[in-house]
Amino acid sequence: MKRFGDLVVVEIAGSLAGGYCGKLFADHGAEVVLVGPSELPPHQSAYVDVGKRPVDAWPAGLLAEADVLIESSADGPVSPTGVGRDDLVHVQLSPFGSSGPYAEWKSSDLIDYAVGGHLYLYGDPDREPLRGPADQPRYATGLFGFIGAMAALWVRRRTAKGQVVEVSHTDAMVSLHQFTFLRYTLGGDTLRRMGNRFTGQGQPNSIYPSADGWVCVSAPAADQVERLLDVTGLADLLDRSDITSPLDFQVLPHVLDDALMPWLAERNTDDIVDLLQAVRVPAAPVSTMQQLLDDPHLADRDYWRPAADGVRRAPGPPFRMSGHRWRQPDRPASVGSDGRRQGTWDPPAESMMAHFAEHGPLAGLKVLDLTRVWAGPLATRMLAELGADVVWVEAPWGRGPRQLPDSLIAATRYYPDNEQGDCQWNRNGHLLKFSLGKRSLALDLATAEGIATFERLVPWADVVIENFSSRVMPHFGLDEDRLHELNSAAVYVTMPGYGRSGPAEHWLAFGSSVDSHAGLSSLIGYADQRPWKGGVAWPDPIAGLHATSALLIALWDRACADDGAGQTIEVAQFEATVAIVGDQLLAHQSGAVLDGSSNRAPDAAPQGVYRCQGDDRWVAITVDSDAAWQALCDHLAGFDDTMRSFDLARRIECHDAIDDIIATWSGARDQRTVVAELQGRGVAAGPVLDAGGVVADPHFDHRNLFHHFDQPEVGPFTTHGIPIRLSATPARPRRRAPLLGEHNAEVLAEAGRLTAGEIDSLAAADVIADRPPE
């Protein structure tokens, strides 16, 4: 078996998605050969192409040596290279994938946001929807592509067979919604942009002007709101007749904002953050690109690395691995006589391809999952869909008490028909979505018996993963030294918001606070109003994807190592998020102005979001070439001969006038009609889909992106899967979501080797449970 540093990856120059997928290989030691001239802007190429070996044309014999081939397209379908090898892992990344009604459509990152359902969640409800930070669909697709490639390489290691790995931008974006679709399918609620704030439950969750800039306050929990009101002297807001619970600010956010904003405006950002973090209310600065480069936490952690030109600074590693150095060869390979390490993860040898096709490419991998909320549960759900045996170790009270306040049900809308029912702990759609394919062990780690029981499980596991703050595992007596004492082969993944060192180490962090600190809000906004709060807590899925990527590298290292030793991976959500604005940081240091205002782009005009017939119906349009401009002029009335002759620079200059003509035309037409007409003429366009539009969309239906289960206590349950399409070993949820503690006895007997008497004793002492405590 090749060590990671001996893998040969051929990347055909294409999109940023392909570039970031290749970067993850190159940064961790693989040889990446970049074929053909870069199609990326200079600031992107300078970021993602570092460490790759560029060649102008195919060297003789190159493909015969390759383990992985990456092909990608930013704005249309991939034209696959004829390979003629059945042992090659062939990654294909494109906007809509190779099949489905939209497979031949032209696209842009604006259209990826629109069709993937994210655009509808950003912006002012009384204005056109806003694009999120530029090119994020492509970064996410590149991450999924890397994960799929590593999963396919695992299969090849046992079968000598390759396969095609396909990820589309729009599938990726659909899969990276937190609760948009479950709120729609469980209760008919259509989540919609909420202004300059996070789109979802829990307020305040926004950015606000301070005396010297902007500050982010993210307090979605009732106790956090109460502490915020106490420390700001605004507790009397809870005495209002229209406020019966702190959660009522979800439906009346302006009541709190109107009182809070004057208090924030009188204070400096750093003082606000220090005060709120001291009372455990998540808060963070809203960073510009320059403020990010000057951030003291990143400096303390020695995060920045010299860019290729030796002048600018670029992001360092998005995750830190104790046994694998970034941008340096990994440790020497040493394999057994049959070319693989004999270890705990060793699927049966007979009919291996059929085995992996049925059970998934990671079949045999055993995971202890201590994660919660979104970033960690997304990582472990991906592992489960790829075939791993994931045991969710949850607190008996982790799904809430036996009875919830009605205000919480109304605020979250996670429950079928917005009713908690008799067993609310088994009806929470958010928990069900992220536990699909897992087993549940409800274990009280606040007790000595619970810790001792967990320690008996660790030798069984290949992976232990958690996303607590950095203090929690040491408090349990389960730091990395103790875990590796119990199981030296275990890979331990920890995902604290800001890492395990630095001045912000102990800050309370949510994805919706980290996004603004990591500069994302500075990249969003209308021409007359910015920065703007992201409608989605983007750092959560980005951290989850990077954690899964790091884990697969670590498992590869372990399989190659003579001693079979595991290692520790630290994924700081803040640093993982900064990594996906690396190109923007390089552009800023070059003095380039990448206008992110509204929905426009520096390399396309017109580009925007235009109203169509119907309530809140919109279409996204990108004209990225002179040919597309001529096609648009041919199709729409209103463009005179002078305008038809405009080049890109002139179209950018006259963008407002062009927008008026397009808006008049689109406003009289149905959304789908506009898209069909423009795509038929080779002009990139896509509908801005809401939750119902995505769930019912024929393209996603054709691609079987949504899965349907009969869930106890719920009934029919629909949610999306991961977007990685493996041609020979499909990824999919292989079991419904578990009930609380459903697999207690099974897991403890199998993984911990506990006797029936020991298990009964734990149940009698309420160390394990299948319902919340009284």
Q: What is the pLDDT of residues 506-540, one digit of tens each?
A: 999 999 999 999 999 999 999 999 899 999 999 99
Q: What is the pLDDT of residue 344?
A: 46
218 contact partners, CB below 8 Å, separation of at least 6: 198, 202, 204, 205, 282, 283, 284, 510, 512, 513
Which residues are CB-neighbours of 210 under 8 A, at least 6 positions away? 264, 265, 267, 268, 269, 272
Helix axes 539-560, 375-385, angle to 10 degrees: 50
> What DSSP string describes 215-227?
EEEE--SHHHHHH
Q: What is the pLDDT of residue 597?
A: 62
> For 744-750, what is the mean pLDDT?
97
Cα distance between residue 585 and residue 24, in whole Å: 18
Of 541, 535, 518, 333, the residue nearest 434 (C-alpha): 541
Three-class DSSP category at 717: strand
pLDDT score for 598: 82
Which one is predicted more confidently, 30 or 1? 30
pLDDT in tens, 32-86: 999 999 999 999 999 999 999 999 887 778 888 999 999 999 999 998 887 778 8
Residue 93 contacts residue 18 (beta carbons within 8 Å) = yes
pLDDT of residue 341: 33
User: Could you give the CA distance from residue 684 to residue 682 in angstroms, rounded to a whole number?
Assistant: 6
Q: How much is the average pLDDT of 578-607? A: 89
Q: Is the pLDDT of residue 144 over 90?
A: yes
CB atoms within 10 A of CB 239: 7
Mean pLDDT of 239-253: 88
**718, pLDDT greater than 70:** yes
Cβ atoms 763, 744 nearer than 8 A:
yes
Q: What is the DSSP string of 608-631?
A: EEEE-SSTT-EEEEE--SHHHHHH
State percent of the chain over pLDDT 90. Answer: 86
- Percent of the chain at pLDDT exceeding 70: 97
CB neighbours of residue 614 within 10 Å:
9
Q: For 665-690, write each residue's pLDDT tens digit.
A: 999 999 999 999 999 999 999 999 99
Give the up-direction half-sphere exposure of residue 5: CA atoms within 13 A in the CB hemisphere.
14
Q: What is the model's pLDDT at position 573?
A: 98
Closest CA to 318 of 27, 589, 523: 27
Contact assessment for residue 523 and residue 585, using Cβ atoms and an 8 Å cutoff: no
Distances (CA, A) of 544 to 16, 379, 381, 428, 731: 20, 5, 10, 21, 17
Radius of gyration of the chain from its Cα atoms, rounded to whole angstroms: 26
H or E element in which residue 169 lies: helix 169-175
The 3-state secondary structure of 473-502 reads HHHHCCCHHHHHHHCCCCEEEECCCCCCCC
pLDDT digits (tens, 9 = 90+) for 378-409: 999 999 999 999 999 999 999 999 999 888 88
For the chain, give the mean pLDDT: 93
Q: CA 110 to CA 131: how far, in whole Å?
A: 6
Q: Are strands 568-570 and 607-611 parallel, antiparallel or unpaired?
A: unpaired
Closest CA to 569 of 491, 486, 483: 491
**pLDDT one-digit tens code per residue, 5-43:** 999 999 999 999 999 999 999 999 999 999 999 999 999
**What kind and span of H or E run contains 607?**
strand 607-611
Compute CA distances 601 → 134, 218, 605, 606, 624, whole Å.
9, 30, 7, 9, 9
Tens digits of per-residue pLDDT, 296-322? Answer: 999 999 999 999 889 999 999 999 999
Alpha-carbon gap, residue 770 to 739, rounded angstroms:
8
The mean pLDDT value for 554-564 works out to: 92
d(CA 761, CA 105): 61
Pairwise CA distance, residues 44 & 14, whole Å: 12
Place of tokens 């340096």: 328
The residue-averaged pLDDT of 599-619 equals 96
